[in-house]
Amino acid sequence: VDDGTKFVTLDGVERKLSDRDLMICNAHEPMCIAGVFGGMDSGVTEATTDIFLESACFHPTWVRKTARRHGLNTDSSFRFERGVDPSNTVYALKIAALLVKELAGGEICGDVFDWYPRPVERPSVELSYDYLASLIGKDIEAETIKSILASLEIEVVSEREGVLDLRVPTYRVDVTRPCDVAEEILRVYGYDNVEFGETMHSSLSYRQTTDVSERLQYLISEQLTACGFYEIMNNSLTAVSYYEGLQTYPLEKCVRLMNPLSNDLAVLRQTLVFGGLESLAHNINRKKADLMMYEFGHVYSRDPEKESSEAEPLRPFKEETNLGLWMTGDVCAGNWALPARKTTVYDLKSVVENIFARIGLSMQELSVAQTSGELFDASLAYATKDGKTIGQMGIVSRKLLKMADIHQEVFYAELKWDVLLKLALRKKVEYRDLPKTMPVKRDLALLLDAGVTFAQVENVIRSSERKLLKEITLFDVYEGKNLEAGKKSYAVSLILQDEEKTLNDKQIDAVMNKIIANLQKQLDAKLR
């Protein structure tokens, strides 16, 4: 057919044909994509009364190229791509006609026409006993070999000086060489019947030390597993449809495959979120709705403005490692003592910030900002003080959940693991003795403007006292009755400790007065 010819397949989709496509045609027009998919005009309906049956054996390479070109993966192409028995073509045609007659009440009213200009001959293979023994590693009796070959319908034509002349049946399209025959013999004889020798020669590859990045990944994996997370591994190939219309991960930045198996596996992923949602949906549909999962995975992107060259063939492409976290359902199952508790975004936030702490990053070194985007209904973005993005977390958008067919809230975080590694490697872990002095606890009840965040309060408190302040905890937030309009109350607990000597009241009061003064000055806070 001419390149660009339009053709409607049985699924109702109009496709543009290539002049390289193998087609079944009548005298005027194409009827079917040979070995792949039937056409709408040649299909059978409830009103069909006359059927013309055609049976053929198509070349595997042509079928595979045509199927890949149109992104089709059908039962027919699956079989033809792997090779079918050409000698069964007429037999299959007669069986199909008989089935129509027996099951649908049809009447066979025509003769069989067979066009087979160049019959396929049965492959001939020479197999020597010495070659078989060297390949398998054991001398098998000649009679046993012949018995196995007979059971496989491989004919022994002749035998001469330790060599068998064989003829392979046409339906075994995968058996064409002596090594193929040896594999078939060993498969029937049994791998477990081949004994090991007294000595075995092998080489082992190993490393003296584990890479630092691997050790940190193991460390975080152990931490997440201890918290109840399951590790998942999703396919790096994903569907084009996920990225259509996205601004965060535009389609033009996707790395496309030249010969995709299907449209669902046509591009490399730019984010881990879609694969994780597929895993969640798979489990939720099987009544496993309370889930916590994580994945260390590679993500890929392409810069459309950069072009590859002989010196830099991979210049437009970028590969990074990210860490994805998913939480949904109940974080704690209910029992006789306690009711079930739903997962909240704060549970995920705690997990993310514990990861930062585990690799030596304090929240004072990072900036946190509320963000909006297509993936989240509400989210936070983490970055370094110099503006380098570390990751994002939040509530997965309802649009994405609908696309994944998930009907419950999902919380997701994606962290740039490569960036975290660089930050972690700058840190030096130091160990110290536990302090022998007693800590002191003080509480503050603060009245603040409704727009003030706890992060702002924490920054002011920490900048006021760096040596003695060990811990800050927000244990209550109140808005509403008995407070002025536009105001809210934070209840904050502070832990003070001098590791060398016990604090006295004068020192404690001096620290607290300094903190209160800075809160009043910088955030217009009032003590309640």
For residue 96, give the CATH number of its domain: 3.50.40.10
Q: Assess whether 187 and 324 both reside in one domain.
A: no
The terminus-to-terminus CA distance of the chain in angstroms comes to 85
Residues 155 and 118: beta-carbon distance below 8 Å: no
Burial 343-382 (b: 16+ CB within 10 A, else e): bebebbbebbbebbeebbbeeeeeebeeeeeebbbebbbb
Q: Assess whether 222 and 319 both reside in one domain.
A: yes
DSSP 338-359: S--EE--HHHHHHHHHHHHHHT
Which of 72, 104, 136 marks a domain boundary? 104
Closest CA to 375 of 273, 284, 264: 273
Segment 357-374 mean pLDDT: 87
Looking at residue 157, which CATH number applies to its domain?
A: 3.30.56.10
> In the 8-state DSSP scheme, what is residue 249?
S
Could you tell me the residue range of the domain that residue 142 belongs to? 124-192
What pLDDT was estimated at residue 121? 87
Residues 292 and 327: beta-carbon distance below 8 Å: yes
Residue 40 CA to residue 31 CA, distance in Å, equals 8
Residue 255 lies in a domain: no
Residue 357 lies in a domain: yes
Residues in the chain: 528
Q: Assess whether 415 and 466 both reside in one domain.
A: no
Q: Which amino acid is at 380?
A: L
Structure confidence by residue, pLDDT tens digits, 80-136: 998 888 888 999 999 999 999 999 888 999 889 998 888 888 889 999 999 999 999
Looking at residue 326, which CATH number applies to its domain?
A: 3.30.930.10
Residue 260 lies in a domain: no
What pLDDT was estimated at residue 454? 87
Q: Assess whether 354 and 216 both reside in one domain.
A: yes
What pLDDT was estimated at residue 310? 65
Residue 351 lies in a domain: yes
Residue 94 CA to residue 112 CA, distance in Å, equals 8
Residue 194 CA to residue 196 CA, distance in Å, equals 7
CA 208 to centroid of chain Cα atoms: 31
Residue 201 lies in a domain: no
Say which residues have a Cβ less than 8 Å from residue 279's Cβ, sequence separation at least 6. Answer: 232, 234, 293, 326
Q: What angle do CA 285, 324, 386 make, to 5 degrees?
A: 155
Structure confidence by residue, pLDDT tens digits, 143-199: 999 999 999 999 999 999 889 999 999 989 889 999 999 999 999 999 999 988 777
Q: Which of 293-297, 426-430, 455-459, 493-497 tops mean pLDDT? A: 293-297
- Is the pLDDT assigned to residue 1 strictly greater than 90? no
Residues 406 and 340: beta-carbon distance below 8 Å: no
Q: Assess whether 293 and 376 both reside in one domain.
A: yes
Q: Into how many domains does the chain fold? A: 4
Considering Cα of 448, then 452, then 454, then 460, what sign does the dihedral take?
negative
Which of 425, 458, 490 marks a domain boundary? 425
Residue 199 lies in a domain: no
Q: Assess whether 348 and 279 both reside in one domain.
A: yes
Residue 378 lies in a domain: yes
Lowest mean pLDDT among 147-161, 285-299, 416-430: 416-430
How many C-beta neighbours within 10 Å does residue 28 have?
6
CA 493 to centroid of chain Cα atoms: 43
Segment 457-463 mean pLDDT: 91
* Alpha helices for 406-476 (secondary structure H): 417-425, 454-464
Closest CA to 37 of 6, 85, 78, 4: 78
Q: Assess whether 223 and 271 both reside in one domain.
A: yes
Segment 281-292 mean pLDDT: 95
**Which run of H or E residues covers position 212?**
helix 212-226
The first and second tokens of residue 495, run together, are: 């832990």
Q: Assess whether 281 and 408 both reside in one domain.
A: yes
Residue 289: C-alpha distances to residues 278, 282, 404 (Å): 13, 10, 14
Q: Assess whether 13 and 80 both reside in one domain.
A: yes
Segment 309-324 mean pLDDT: 83
What pLDDT was estimated at residue 311? 66
Q: Which amino acid is at 66?
A: T
Q: Assess whether 218 and 366 both reside in one domain.
A: yes
Looking at residue 499, which CATH number applies to its domain?
A: 3.30.70.380
Residue 494 lies in a domain: yes
Lowest mean pLDDT among 109-113, 147-151, 206-210, 389-393: 206-210
Which of 425, 452, 483 marks a domain boundary? 425
3-state secondary structure of 100: helix
* Alpha helices for 71-211 (secondary structure H): 75-82, 89-104, 129-136, 142-151, 178-189
pTM to 2 decimals?
0.66
Say which residues have a Cβ less than 8 Å from residue 186's Cβ, sequence separation at least 6. Answer: 136, 194
Residue 204 CA to residue 473 CA, distance in Å, equals 52
Q: Assess whether 373 and 477 both reside in one domain.
A: no
Q: Assess whether 64 and 21 both reside in one domain.
A: yes
The first and second tokens of residue 286, run together, are: 């099987």
